[in-house]
């Protein structure tokens, strides 16, 4: 369930940064021009596949553990992963709506986004995000609310502060925000963005029992993205293509006393995306593929377990 909540919130962050805008081809930059009241509905699909890589089990420094015990632990982990493989390949569907809800005399636009992600027995998670878009393309999140039809998930979400929910929006000013980007075919822009994962994960951990006894440390998640304007497609939509990669990211959990510790390292993350924008300034479609490699290291009694996992994710968003 924790993974479900994290997935939905990360997805909401992706939607928050992806809403670019378009205007007539005579304009020099991408701008939001949709009239107040304009709304666009989308169908979303996220396919995620996790594959087990290497599994190694060694004795904790200073401890004596025979090889047979180490091998049994390794085999149990591999067997457990294999038995649960059906849960490691998931397809999550959802709905999204972008709505222009206001425009002031200075040209600042209020854009509201609502994302509902379905997840079977755990119910739906809904993210409502409101942001202010300035004429020069700068975006500022002014409100974030997350809710769920599942009482247990709702209880976890209720413990997040607005600041913690906003922590994932550190990338909103990056190249994925296409407002203000020149509409010159072949023109590229490269930006490195940083998301405060310490703030977000601290909020997630803080909502769980016994969290006060766990020491959590996380580095920022820094992603470099290059976006290129590729021109108008056959339907007259503005087309963009991007590629991105992340710097290595690490998360450490330290349990009290001799209870052990665990750390997760994102050793590789890269991907590509294509985006199409309507003439009125709202997103028409987006397709993103991401490839990640993670390493999990944890101490269990006198054994140290190291696991590598590969994850591939495909996300599509299409106007209905």
pLDDT, residue 261, reads 77
Region of poorest pLDDT, from 104-118, 249-263, 277-291: 249-263
Asked whether residue 247 carries a pLDDT value surpassing 70, the answer given is yes
What DSSP element (H or E) covers 91? strand 89-103
Question: DSSP of 190-206, one letter per residue?
Answer: EEEEEE-HHHHHHHHHH
**Spatial CB neighbours of 19, under 8 Å, sequence gap ≥ 6:** 98, 111, 113, 177, 282, 283
The more confidently predicted of residues 138 and 317 is 317
pLDDT, residue 25, reads 38
Asked whether residue 282 carries a pLDDT value surpassing 50, the answer given is yes
The more confidently predicted of residues 256 and 2 is 256
The arithmetic mean of pLDDT across residues 119-145, rounded, is: 80
Reported as a pLDDT band with limits 50, 70 and 90, residue 15 is very low
- As a whole number of angstroms, the distance between CA 182 and CA 205 comes to 41
Region of poorest pLDDT, from 160-174, 245-259, 300-314: 160-174
Asked whether residue 9 carries a pLDDT value surpassing 60, the answer given is no
In percent, how much of the chain has pLDDT > 90? 43
Say how far residue 66 (Cα) sits from the centre of its chain.
42
Asked whether residue 277 carries a pLDDT value surpassing 90, the answer given is yes
Reported as a pLDDT band with limits 50, 70 and 90, residue 21 is very low
CA angle in degrees (0–180, nearest 5) for 279-289-228: 45
pLDDT, residue 162, reads 61
Asked whether residue 160 carries a pLDDT value surpassing 80, the answer given is no
pLDDT, residue 295, reads 93
pLDDT, residue 299, reads 86
CB 24 within 8 A of CB 271: no
Reported as a pLDDT band with limits 50, 70 and 90, residue 30 is confident
CB 81 within 8 A of CB 52: yes
The more confidently predicted of residues 209 and 56 is 56
Give the pLDDT confidence of 85-107 residue by residue, as tens digits.
656 778 889 999 999 999 999 99
Asked whether residue 264 carries a pLDDT value surpassing 70, the answer given is yes
Asked whether residue 126 carries a pLDDT value surpassing 70, the answer given is yes
The more confidently predicted of residues 317 and 80 is 317
Give the pLDDT confidence of 186-243 residue by residue, as tens digits.
999 998 888 777 766 666 665 555 556 667 788 888 899 999 999 999 999 999 999 9
CA dihedral sign of residues 174, 178, 182, 188: positive
**β partners of residue 309:** 52, 294
Residue closest to 117 by CA, chosen among 137, 94, 101, 97: 94
pLDDT, residue 99, reads 96
pLDDT, residue 92, reads 87
Asked whether residue 14 carries a pLDDT value surpassing 60, the answer given is no
- Counting runs of H as helices and runs of E as strands, what totals does the chain give? 5, 13
**β partners of residue 199:** none
Asked whether residue 16 carries a pLDDT value surpassing 90, the answer given is no
**β partners of residue 221:** 195
The arithmetic mean of pLDDT across residues 267-293, rounded, is: 93
The more confidently predicted of residues 8 and 254 is 254
């Amino acid at each position: 369930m924790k993974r479900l909540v994290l997935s939905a919130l990360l997805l909401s962050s992706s939607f928050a940064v992806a809403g670019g805008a378009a205007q007539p081809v005579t304009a020099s930059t991408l701008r939001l021009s949709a009239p107040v009241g304009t709304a666009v509905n989308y169908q979303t699909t996220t396919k995620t596949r996790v594959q087990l890589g290497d599994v190694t089990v060694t004795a904790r420094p200073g401890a004596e553990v025979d090889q047979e015990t180490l091998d049994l632990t390794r085999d149990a982990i591999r067997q457990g992963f294999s038995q649960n493989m059906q849960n490691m390949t998931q397809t999550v569907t959802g709905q999204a709506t972008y709505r222009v809800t206001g425009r002031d005399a200075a040209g600042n636009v209020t854009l509201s986004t609502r994302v509902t992600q379905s997840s079977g027995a755990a119910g739906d998670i809904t993210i409502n995000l409101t942001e202010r878009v300035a004429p020069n393309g700068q975006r500022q999140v002014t409100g974030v609310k997350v809710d769920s039809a599942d009482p247990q998930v709702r209880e976890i979400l209720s413990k997040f502060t607005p600041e913690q929910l906003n922590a994932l929006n550190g990338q909103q000013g990056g190249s994925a925000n296409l407002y203000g980007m020149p509409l010159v075919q072949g023109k590229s822009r490269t930006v490195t963005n940083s998301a405060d994962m310490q703030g977000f994960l601290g909020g997630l951990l803080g909502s769980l029992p016994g969290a006060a006894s766990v020491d959590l440390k996380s580095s920022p998640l820094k992603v470099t993205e290059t976006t290129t304007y590729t021109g108008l497609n056959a339907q007259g939509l503005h087309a963009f293509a991007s590629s991105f990669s992340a710097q290595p990211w690490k998360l450490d959990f330290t349990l009290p006393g001799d209870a052990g510790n665990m750390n997760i390292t994102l050793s590789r993350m890269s991907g590509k995306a294509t985006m199409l924008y309507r003439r009125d300034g709202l997103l028409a479609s987006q397709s993103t593929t991401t490839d990640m490699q993670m390493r999990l290291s944890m101490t269990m009694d006198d054994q140290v377990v190291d696991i590598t996992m590969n994850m591939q994710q495909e996300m599509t968003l299409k106007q209905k």
